[in-house]
Amino acid sequence: MFQRLRSDFRLSIITLLGLSGFLGITPFAVLRFHQGDVVTGVVDVLILCGVCGGVVYAWVTGDTRRSGLVMAIVASFGSVVVAGLVGDPGLFWLYPCLITSFFLTPPRVAIAINVSAVVLMVALGDAFSGLEQMGSFVSTALVVSACAFVFASRNEDQRRRLEHLATIDPLTGVKNRRAMDEELAIAQAHATRTGISCALILLDIDHFKQINDEYGHSVGDEVLVDLVNVLRKNTRKSDQLFRYGGEEFVLLVPAIDGVGLKTVIGNLQQLLRNHVKHPGGSITASFGVAELDWGERVESWLARADDALYQAKETGRDRAVFAEPRIRAVPQSA
């Protein structure tokens, strides 16, 4: 659980805000019922249910955007209703909601929610003792929203940059091994759920160390960039390319069978020979290929492809080896 919170920023924010909302609202809900204010107590309970429901939904489905939107709407407009019922004291509840909207939803969506909540509060008018208080509330609410918008926008931009740096190989511009681990897990889950075939292609540039030693690392870097460009231009949009390490790359190919894989490998071998060159001539590559077996774990899938690549290099290079399927029991139909 803690690992998931550390790796998923939005889920951690939703969980923290949900816990804060639960601890902050529950005592007041109990107090309302104790004082006989059943209507306001029920509204508080409904807000609690919406907030807690959003947290649970985020944990179960992983859909933090939808759950965050629901939580922001429930909290903001619930606060408007509470303010309309209890008057002056309820106004203060909207301020934290105005801020948390920017943590739960994109900045533009949060602005729309906040402006709508403030307009509705003014339209009801029951929470204000006079025009002066109404004017003060609107002014401070807009200032709070504006400051939160600036902070959230800068924070979102910085988070995107950090995510980019953490998941993209700086030399070639393709996803790195960290991103690959996440995408392989997603692909494995999707294949298990749908039954659609999926394959891994590991490729290693033959004698790459020799290229670096003879012509320098700058030439080696150019070879890597050229290889990536060729692969990107000649694979499908649904295929994903990752730099596995050094001169090794992984191509994730969904919805393909064995015949299609052989065609893809043959085309890639020819394209690399024709279009990726260095001062000593063209490059070649060795390929290890593994189709995902039913119920197979990602670690096993990747290991089979890696073993196939090792065999391709040990048996002469410039060739492709297809991994044998695992020995497994065929699932029984009910």
Q: Any idea which residues carry the catalytic annotation?
A: 247
Residue 26: what residue type? T
Closest CA to 175 of 75, 67, 84, 250: 250
Q: What gap in Å lies between CA 111 and CA 104, rounded to an integer? A: 12
Q: Which residue has the tokens 């020979």?
A: 273
Side-chain half-sphere CA neighbours of 162 within 13 A: 8
Q: What are the residues facing 253 on neighbouring strands?
A: 199
Q: Which of 299, 300, 319, 298 is nearest to 310 (CA)?
A: 319
Q: How far is CA 70 from CA 58, 144, 210, in A?
A: 11, 21, 58
Q: Which element (helix H / strand E) includes 315?
A: none
Report in angstroms the alpha-carbon separations of 48 from 10, 17, 118, 259, 313: 20, 12, 21, 55, 60
Judge contact between 95 and 137, C-beta under 8 A: no
- Matching residue, tokens 């065609």: 263
CB 255 within 8 A of CB 287: no
Strands 285-291 and 320-322: parallel
Calculate ∠ Cα 299-187-311, nearest 5°. Answer: 45
